[in-house]
Structure 1
Amino acid sequence: MMHSDAGLQAASGVKAEAPRMRARLGRQLMTLPEQIAEHIFAAIEHGEYAPGERIREEALAEQFEVSRGPVREALRILEKDSVVDIVPNRGAHVTQLAIKEVRDIFEIRRDLIGAMVRRLDRRNTSFIASIAAGVRELETLVKEPGAGDAYLAVSDRLACLLAEGAGNERLAAILGSLARQTRRYSRLGLATAARRQQSALTWRMFLKTLTAGEVGSAVAALESLIDASMQEAVRQLQAAGNVARTKDLLQ
């Protein structure tokens, strides 16, 4: 049986850069099902599974060289975050959220941002330095064509740093779950170079206002980030839906 993280990364078809949301939010070690869940999530995020597609336990167990038990538990973890739906006698399928659901989840994230930012310690120099380093990375990446994945990864890391900095584990866990639920759609929201450039400018404004003690303005900056990603994601989902309906009418 292959139980090591290195072994999981070596499995074919799995992204080595799988996001480790739980580890970043204070967990130093992940269980085997949590590791598998992260790799499945990365595959979903990168389009290896389409919305509505079935995820077969037996294939994953063979891929990761584990029994079906850890795979089943990994899928339950993803079900809690609304990444997959598990239907009795039909197995696990990738969720296909309606546009209203996407809006609702983004809005909940936005509403919780204020509670997080107000708990941040702007006098913690190492914390501020970490945020500043991430913002500089974003500003570098916007100059590079085709850097969408890298930009999203740094944005994700910054969000995790902020959640950790709030010092409230329950709030961090909720924000982590919401981030996972919206990550596929955040990717759509940052798909264009223009959107990434605007995002980097907003992150810079957040850092400037946070360090100046302008908490209300810092909250507003992060709220605008979430709103902009939501609006672009919805726009692209609507466009994709219109294309699909047009194809159906032509067939």
Structure 2
Amino acid sequence: MSTTTKAPSAKPALRQLQTLPEQIAERIFESIANGDYGPGDRIREEALSEQFEVSRGPVREALRILEKDAVVRILPNRGAHVTQLSIKEVADIFEIRRTLSGAMIARLSVDDAARLAAAIDADIRTLDALAQEPDGSSEYFQTSYRLSRTLREACSNERMGEILASLSRQTLRYTQLGLATPARRKESARNWRVMQKAMKAGNVQAAAEAAEKLIEDSKREAIKQLEARPSAIAG
């Protein structure tokens, strides 16, 4: 990972940025999501302190922020390491995320659902196009993640939105695995379109069911990919 990056500037990303440690946490998280760190890799405070040109205090606090979301684990005398979830842990987190995602959509009023359907139309069309591209995996995932964030931000229950954001972070690497093939991206795009059409029609229950299917399909494929890897942890 490059050591020339300056201290991160505040910009919209995967969470609303406020303090310097939150900004640093976001940048570390992006590095993990981009594969600069793999499961089990150590994240060294001193290297990050040099990279962001800050003292080790904000870096240490940033790592604690990521630990709350189970993105890293801080071990006594061993420092921070990227989490390596077992297959069972991945399945459990996806299950919670699926249930809460459905509940979040079901809470929408008919008018709010219609407004949200209009707000996400451009990104849905982007997904439809990217699903046809053999090399569209990265951009598809980024667009899908942005859509998920838009849905969370529309949730009237702020605490539910925060929990879903944390769960989304915890499953991010595994969601990417679940979108690895063109066939899966096409299936995902269809689910997004079904959900949007249901919201537009004011059928929030059907939209909630589509949201749950979206997460369930991602879980199924992620576990399939993990089980095919020799290093996968079963339990």
TM-score normalised by L of structure 2: 0.90
Change (3 A) 1:215 1:126: closer
1:65-98 deviation line (CA, Å, top 9, x unaligned): 0100110011000000001000111100011000
> What is the match of residue 233 of structure 1?
222
Aligned to 1:174: 163
Runs of 4+ in 1 over 6 A off after TM superposition: 13-16
CA distance in 1, matches of 2:227, 2:132: 29
- Aligned partners of 2:46, 2:228: CA distance in 1, in Å? 35
CA contact (8 A) 2:116 2:199 kept: no
2:143 is paired with a residue whose SS is helix
Larger relative contact order (C-alpha < 8 A, sep ≥ 6)?
Answer: 2
Preserved contact between residue 119 and residue 165 of structure 1 (Cα < 8 Å): no
Q: RMSD value over aligned CA atoms?
A: 2.5
Give distance in 1, aligned partners of 2:60 and 2:140: 32
Deviation at 1:12, TM superposition (A): 4.0
Q: Which residue of 1 aligns with 2:185?
A: 196
The yes-or-no answer on 1:87 pairing with 2:71 is: no
Matched-pair identity in %: 56
Q: Distance in 1 between matches of 2:130 and 2:105?
A: 25
Letter in 1 for 2:14: M
In 1, Cα distance between the equivalents of 2:57 and 2:153?
31
CA 1:208 to 1:243, structure 2 compared with 1: closer, same or farther past 3 Å?
A: closer
Counterpart for residue 42 of structure 2:
54
Q: Name the counterpart of 1:32.
A: 20
Q: Deviations over 1:109-163 (max 9, x none)?
A: 0111222112224424553321112111111211223111111111111111111
Q: TM-score, normalised by structure 1?
A: 0.85
2:60 matches 1:67: no
Deviation of the 1:14 alpha carbon:
11
Q: 1:112 aligns with which of 100, 106, 125?
A: 100
1:54 and 1:94 in contact (8 A); partners too: yes
From the superposition, tell whether residues 121 and 165 of structure 1 become closer, same or farther in structure 2 (CA, over 3 Å): farther
Q: Partner of 1:20 in structure 2?
A: 13
CA contact (8 A) 2:6 2:52 kept: no
- Structure 1 residues 180-219: aligned runs within 5 Å: 180-219=169-208
| Residue deviations 1:27-57 (CA, integer Å, cap 9, x gap) | xx42111111111111111211121111000
| Contact map agreement 1:116 1:171 (CA 8 A) in 2 | yes
The AA in structure 1 aligned to 2:50 is E
Aligned length, in residue pairs: 230
What pairs with 1:112-131 in structure 2 (closer than 5 Å)? Answer: 112-124=100-112, 126-131=115-120
Where does the alignment leave 5 or more consecutive residues of structure 2 unmatched?
Answer: none
- Name the structure with the higher helix share: 1
Secondary structure of the structure 2 residue equivalent to 1:113: helix
Aligned in 2, Cα 1:209/1:220: closer, same or farther, shift over 3 Å? same
Contact 2:7 / 2:51 at 8 angstroms: preserved in 1? Answer: no
Residue 161 of structure 1 pairs with residue 150 of structure 2: yes
Q: How far apart in 2 are the matches of 1:12 and 1:85?
A: 24
The verdict on how the C-alpha distance between 1:14 and 1:120 changes in structure 2, with shifts beyond 3 A counting, is farther
Three-state SS of the structure 1 residue aligned to 2:111 is coil
Which consecutive residues of structure 1, in runs of 5 or more, have no partner in the other structure? 1-8, 24-28, 245-251
